Amino acid sequence: MPPRFSTCPADIWATMAELTPTTLRGQAIAALATPDLALKRDLTLRAGERWFARTLGLSSPSDPVLPDRPGRPDRPVLVAPRLVPKRSVHTLDGRIAMIHALAHIELNAIDLALDIVARFATQTVPRTFFDGWMTVAMEEAKHFGLLSRRLEALGSSYGAMPAHDGLWQAVGVTADDLTARLAVVPLILEARGLDVTPSLLVKLRDVGDGDTAAILEIIYEDEKKHVAIGAKWFRFLCARDRIDPARRFQELVRQCFRGEIKPPFNDRARAEAGLTPTFYRSLSPVSS
């Protein structure tokens, strides 16, 4: 059976409400920990709804223990990046592999946003910090649902192909530093999506896959907001510590990120999100 991602019936929510924690941190941990992808998505959306309705506290000593890793079903099998199926827009199998890879990215993005909320709930930051990251978590859950349904429409499902674990590795190296987490996750990993998505949209439309392109257009517009949320709070923390944000970003990238920061860069979309070239150009081994 493929991983489930449909919403829970209302009567199940009544039972779950009695069992789930009464704080945002507790509910984020519950969503992070479950291996049931339908429940993960539903708990994420429900936690966000309750947080924005201001019916949840932020944290409590009775919150569950934050897991080292997110809950996952048995599939997909995690392999080395070089063993992940090749992706291409020019064949159906290649597009399915591409959509599967994107769904895996979005699933990890749900958990990365939940982890930021849960791990840093005791930080001295404004309440609106958590508004931003619950917005991100809820939108990543939406993206995962859209891509999962697209896979099913094409005769596949999430979990049908192997995937790699590279995205979650960002958690370990930034576990004790909120500024580093913001530098690596939204300002590197998510910002990369702003660079590659426009050309991918053109290719999908050229081969007549307007349905997948429409989903990526939604994701692209949302990801601009996510990078902006990361940039806003990264700048906030640097300003509070009286540190130059571009210089601090470069220091943290060199310390915490093993990959390359390489062109092409979508300078316009990045700048609209608050990530100007002064942040990343000097980190690139080549000029675009």
Tell me the per-residue pLDDT of 51-64, one tens digit each, with 9 for 90 and over. Answer: 999 999 999 999 99
User: Same domain, yes or no, for 163 and 235?
Assistant: no
Whether the pLDDT of residue 168 is over 90: the answer is no
Q: How confident is the model at residue 272 (pLDDT cuts 50, 70, 90)?
A: very high
Name the residue among 141, 41, 147 with its Cα closest to residue 98.
Answer: 147
Whether the pLDDT of residue 9 is over 70: the answer is no
Q: Work out how many domains the chain is built from and give that number.
A: 2
| Cβ atoms 56, 24 nearer than 8 A | yes
List the domain range (segments joined by +) for residue 279. 168-288
User: Same domain, yes or no, for 72 and 98?
Assistant: yes
Name the residue among 139, 130, 137, 141 with its Cα closest to residue 59.
Answer: 130
Task: Show which of 143, 167, 191 is a domain's final residue.
Answer: 167
User: Same domain, yes or no, for 50 and 125?
Assistant: yes
Whether the pLDDT of residue 8 is over 60: the answer is no
Task: Show which of 167, 187, 217 is a domain's final residue.
Answer: 167
Name the residue among 170, 280, 264 with its Cα closest to residue 231.
Answer: 280
User: Same domain, yes or no, for 163 and 180?
Assistant: no
User: Same domain, yes or no, for 73 and 184?
Assistant: no
User: Same domain, yes or no, for 10 and 143?
Assistant: yes
| Cβ atoms 227, 273 nearer than 8 A | yes
User: Same domain, yes or no, for 48 and 72?
Assistant: yes
Q: Which residue has the tokens 């979005």?
A: 106
Task: Show which of 167, 182, 210 is a domain's final residue.
Answer: 167
d(CA 42, CA 10): 11
User: Same domain, yes or no, for 8 and 110?
Assistant: yes
Whether the pLDDT of residue 18 is over 60: the answer is no
Whether the pLDDT of residue 260 is over 70: the answer is yes
User: Same domain, yes or no, for 180 and 266?
Assistant: yes
**pLDDT tens per residue across span 81-118:** 888 888 889 999 999 999 999 999 999 999 999 999 99
> Helix-strand-coil percent breakdown of the chain, rounded to 5?
65, 0, 35
User: Same domain, yes or no, for 201 and 66?
Assistant: no
Neighbours of 264 (CB within 10 A): 10
Whole-prediction pTM: 0.90
